Amino acid sequence: MNDNPIDVAGALVEVRRAYRLLHAYHLRLCDLLQVTHAFLAERGLEFEHWTPINVARLPRSKTPFFDNWAWDLTPAYQVECLWQGTSHGSRCKVHIHSIADTGYDASCDGEPDPSHFKDVAETVSELRIGLYRTRAKNPDWSAAWEPLSHTTTRKDGTDHKVKVGGDEYTHRYFDVNLADLADENAVKAKLLLPIGQWIASA
């Protein structure tokens, strides 16, 4: 435990305030993902799974959370959602990775320490969208991503093509700042329309 003298009562007021703010953030994130899910379902893509990215376990676990990192209580800090389906004969995958804070730094040894992250004014909250398609009968998405993962231009919002075992894969990746998705028109223009155009072009 931390033995440094602190204003416990005052700190707990901030904890309660922070949790209420987090609920508002999570509600907004859920709304965005629900709208996206309905949009993708209309285009034949099905939700496959979601998983926290920044922690080692899912929220429900037989391992006592208090025996591990406090950081493991932040599963919504980074969340990955995945949809798959078929469009015009192509197998499509839509991957959305929500990032509450791009200041996250996992490069240190041991538990991440937010006190060492970049100042919050210098970072953003964003969605990272990955779009994949191929006409392969049994897509090997991991093999297709491997050569792209090493390129510096993979996140430029344009199509990138690779071949795996004779099959061509197309990948597009772009980021959307959550601050730019403040209303319904912005969500349509900056999130749904680019995804919809990509699916339609399969």
Helix or strand run (H / E) with residue 200: helix 193-200
Average pLDDT, stretch 82-92? Answer: 94
Place of tokens 């090997």: 140
Average pLDDT, stretch 92-99? Answer: 96
Place of tokens 């071949």: 163
Model confidence band, residue 31 (pLDDT cutoffs 50, 70, 90): very high
With H, G, I as helix, E, B as strand and everything else as coil, classify residue 39: helix
Cα 121 to Cα 24: distance, rounded to the nearest angstrom: 19
pTM: 0.88
Q: Quick one: angle between helices 193-200 and 8-42, nearest 10?
A: 30
What are all long-range contacts of 57-60, with beta carbons under 8 Å and residues at least 24 apart?
A: none
**Are 199 and 43 in contact, with CB atoms under 8 Å apart?**
yes
pLDDT at 130 over 90: yes
pLDDT at 35 over 80: yes
